[in-house]
Structures are given as structure tokens and as C-alpha cells.
Chains A and B, each alone.
Chain A
Amino acid sequence: MLANLDRFMPRPLAVTGAMLLACGLKAAAQEGLPVGPPPAPDLTGRYAPLTCAPNGATCPFVVDDIKLTPVGKKMWDAYEEIIGPKFDCAQATPPSLFADPYRWAIHQLTDRVVFEYEKDDIIRTVWLTGWGHPEPGPYDASWQGHSIGWYEGDELVVVTTRYHYDPHGIEDFGGIPSSTQKRVTERYRREGDRLYLRALTEDPLILEEPIYFEFEYLAGDDPLILPYRCELDQARFPTQYADPEKGTSLADFGGRDPELVPVGVEELERRRRENQN
């Protein structure tokens, strides 16, 4: 697992790069040259899900490949769809949010990057390191957590922690929960009109190993349709349709759809090896 994480997050390379950059900046300063932050890749734009959510469908994930901890298994088995906080207009959270069939936008500012989503009127602020933003206090957990970010070459890296407990915070179609220990790392890179996201989700209370997502988005000029304006009475409306005798456990309604849940890192590696052979 560590090997996989190292491949995803080449920290030694990042540290080496930072040291070289620091040396370069110091040398430039000594020579009286203007010194500024390294150029950031231009990611600003509006995006629509492409690969993982074509035509409103969801990603081709495999539920059985996710390795849950014993606690995670128990919580998943106990999950009832009707307890989903979405029925009270709670926001969708990463990583499920990344696969939702809605448009979203990236706004790059000097000290932060703002992600704006059609879905649930979500605004995520990613605080760029080095600008001295305040750290979250002990009571500052939230649906979107606390995000910090930095640029690495042509990528924007975002690390988010301090999430609420979420009954379907790992996968919101399959009902896999996330704990307050969820940590999501996103890496964004743009090539032409395509934006690529690699996302790693860790949650040691729920996931025996991290899960890995890859998404592709299409840049475009279509404006976001805002506001979403979820309304509480409308959100809760469908809950009346559940049969009180049957309950709302997904396991009792044909099981969890195998095409709706992300794969584990090891399974992803196995498939890649298979494809290469």
C-alpha cells in the first residue's frame, strides 16, 4: 500500500524540487532579480464530467473490490438509505462529489483556489500553502472539510481533512460511510480542453486500504446553472415512498450496484498489470 501511495504522492521528488527552487530563488535574490512564486498551471475554467459520468450515468466502479475494515463493514451493513443526510439538503462530499453529473468551476486566486459546484451550491476554498491562512479550530469540521493546496509542476495538489462523519461519505450510491478521519488528496492537471483528476481517499476507520479515483472533465463555456437551491421539503419528499415494513437497506433491494462504487488501489494496480499483459 505504501508503494502505491508513494507512486501517487512522490514526496521525495517534491522536497527535492522545493530545495532546488529555494536555491534558485536565493540566487536570484542575491543577483537583484525579481523573485516571485513559481508560475501556476492555468486551471481556471468551467468543467463538465466526461469520462466517469457520460450522459448522466455514474462511474464504472466495483463495490466488491473495496476493502473495508471490520468497523466499516458493520457500518455499511447497517446503512439505510433513508438516513442519508442528502434528504436534508446536506452537501455531497468528496470523493462522491467528483463523479456527480454537474458542472463546476475552478477559480485561481493568489492565496487560494476556489472550487464552485452547481451541485448543492458547494463552494470549496483551497488555501494555498505559504500565505499564512488560519488553521481550523477543534470545532471546525464540516461537510467539505479544510483544504490546503499547492502547485507541483503542472499539477494542483489539494489535501482535505476535517470532514464531518458522513453516512455515505465514501460512496453515496452504495451507502459506504466516511469517518472524521477521511482524508482526500486531489491532483488536477489540464491538457488542452481536458482536465484530469486523480483522487486518493484514505479513511483508516472505514477503509482497509485507500481507494483511488481517476476522472476526466471537459472544459467549456457553458455557465454554471446557479443557484442549486435545494429545498428542505422537496429533499425530504421522497422518503414517504419507502415501505416502513421493508425498510431502506440497499442490501434488501437487489444489493449494491456493482457499477457504482470505486475500486481499491490494489485492484486498480492488478487491472493495470492485466491490461499490460
Chain B
Amino acid sequence: MADGRMPLEGVRVLDFSWFGAGPICAEHLATFGATVVRVESESHIDALRTVAPFAKGKTGYNVSGYFNNYNAGKLGLTLNMNTEKGRDLALKLAAWADVFLTNITPRVIERWGLTYDRLSQVNPGIIAAYQPMQGYDGPHRDFLGFGAVLTPITGYSHLSGFPNRPPFGLGTNYPDYVINPGHTLIAILAALRVRRKTGRGQRIECAQLESSVCPLGTAIFDYTANGRVQTRSGNGLPYASPHNAFRCRRLEGDPNDPAFERWIAIACFDDGEWRALVEAMGNPAWATDQKFATLEGRKANEAELEERINEWTSDKDAYALMRDLQARGVPAGVVQSAREMLDYDEHLKARGYYVYLDHPEAGRTAYDGPPFVMSKTPGKLRWPAPLLGEHTHQVCKEILGLSDEEIADLMVEQVLY
């Protein structure tokens, strides 16, 4: 049983990343026991610290829920890389680290002297993971972007939504949160294993362009193998019908505000699931029409079918309907908003997915919990996101071995800044 051991205890991570894709990856390393030093600078502030939501009535760099959710369990250091002493200290940290991680653009990384060649000179065994937007070579190497621009560039926007709508994407900077941090985490963990066996470090490049397109691989393969250009096709799936979201009874509130909408996703992959749905609907005459009896027939008449189902669901309570349909073996799930996930979802509560941490400035707030559950070495968000520079003194003293006097001087010189 769990006794508090963590798999990455003793692993040292130098987190030179910002925004989403890098910090999330490093947070997962911290969640499973790594010592993570997150390097920031007031001269090069992580824009996420300046982006909403902010704790109620609070302002400043330390109260963004966006930033805080991705940086729990890290030590926060401020270091001004536009100074020579700052760059020297970065190399000292690299000598200490097992893993270096950055998603800062290649031009800046080269200017700061944080390339693998340089890092491996001071630490031959280091695992250096780079998450450039496009790669460290190639004709688009220096193209700009972050999640908002990456979503269209990598194909998500073109493939998302209904065909009569412009390609506006998924409403978020989608690849930033699971796809890119997740792939990078996999690469780092694989490299850590190799290093423990062979003593050898290496350079990892997880170009966000390449990482992001992998989960869209089938569409690219359909083009290279068949010459077909897939496009956005709404909520359907070729081998299920119905397969959509259906309106349920609204919550009380402004009838024009989508916040009070309720929807349920329902899908039938075979005739058995369809018959169970028909029974749940009380065997209405329309549903027993032969044209809906087979998947082929349902696909051919899908618009009519889904309109009928929508009429049936529109006055139902979404949660009662989900429970009823699932009990009958029909795949169904409430289209949950954050409100539903935090306040209504009994399942997430029972599993304890969301974690509440007390932050000195932002107060008690919710964090996404560990991304997977390990039976013997569970992850833990050990402390909330650091204040800007919260652990500068501690890191300088305990990791870099600087004296109080040296630290004070470096602060005055705006090196630790």
C-alpha cells in the first residue's frame, strides 16, 4: 500500500518553460516526486501570471488561476537571463539538474546559451527537452506562435465543428494542455529510464507542430494513402448513430445565457444500444419505424432521427437521463461545464480528482489533480504554485551554495530578478 514514496524522488528538474505546454509537463514531474525549480524573471514574466482568472478582488502576479494550476509543487526562482551572471547561474543549475525543460523559442534559447551542446558541457548526463513551436531546424524554425495559433496550424481548427461554420477551433488553445505536455512527459520518462540504465543523457525535441498533429494522424494518413482531404463534419461518427449532443432541461436563469443550458451526449454503436434507447423513450411509434432499425438506416436518416431524440430529451433532467440510459446500457454522458465537474459530478468527487490547496495570496483554490492514479506510488500536489521568486533565496542557498551576502548582492544587481 501507499506509504508516501514517490517514483521521481531525487530527480532534479530545471524548468525553464512558460505558458502551458512546458509548465504542465514539469508540474506532472513534481506531482510524482521530482524536485522542480521553475525559473522565471520579472524582466521576462510568464504571461500566464497576467491572465485571468484572478482570485476574487486580488491583483498582481501571484493570483492567476491559469498560472497557478500548472505550477503546483515547484520551487520558484527569479533569474534575469539578460545578465551575464544570470546566465552563469543558469549553467550552475544545469550542472545540478537531471532534466532541463524549455518551450521558449529557439532564438532566445540560443542567445541565452541553453542549447544542448552547452548544457552537456557542464553536465554530460543531462536530459535536455526542448519544445519549440516548429523545431530547431527547417524553413519555419523561427515562426511565431503559441497555443492559439498552433490550433489552426496543426489542423484542429479545420477538422473541428460543423461544416457550415468557419474553422474557429475548439474554444481553447487545445494542444497546450494534454497533447504537448503529455508527449514531452513520455519522452522525458523514457529518457530517464535510459539514463538510469546506461548513464547517458540525451537531447529530446518535442516540436509542438509535430506533437500536436499526431492525434490527427488518421486524417493525414487518409490524405497520403487515399488523397482524401477530410474536413469538419459536425458531431457524427461513421459507425454510430445517433451520435450527438442533445438539449436537456435548462437550469433556472437568463434564458438567453448559454451558461444555463444543459446537454447530454448520446451514442448508439449497435442495434442493441439503439433498441435500449427506444425502450427508454417509451417505444414511440416513430422510433419503431423500420428505417431506423439498422445502423445503415439510422445513418441515412440521421438528421430526422436526432431531431426526434432532441425533442424527447429537451424537457428531461440531464443527470437523471444519463443515469437511466447508462443503466440500460446506452452510452450517455452529460456535457459538463466546469460548474458541473466541480459541483455536480459525484464520480469525480468520489475519486478525489480535484485538489484544493491553500495559496498565501490566492487563497484556497482548486487544482487539477494527478493525471493518472498509481496504486502504490500515488502522485500528490505537495504545495501550491510558487509566488514569483518565492524560493529564490532557498534555491540559491541550498542548490547553488551561495552565501546570504552573495544572494543579497545578486538581488541588488537585478540578477535574481
Do these two chains interact? no
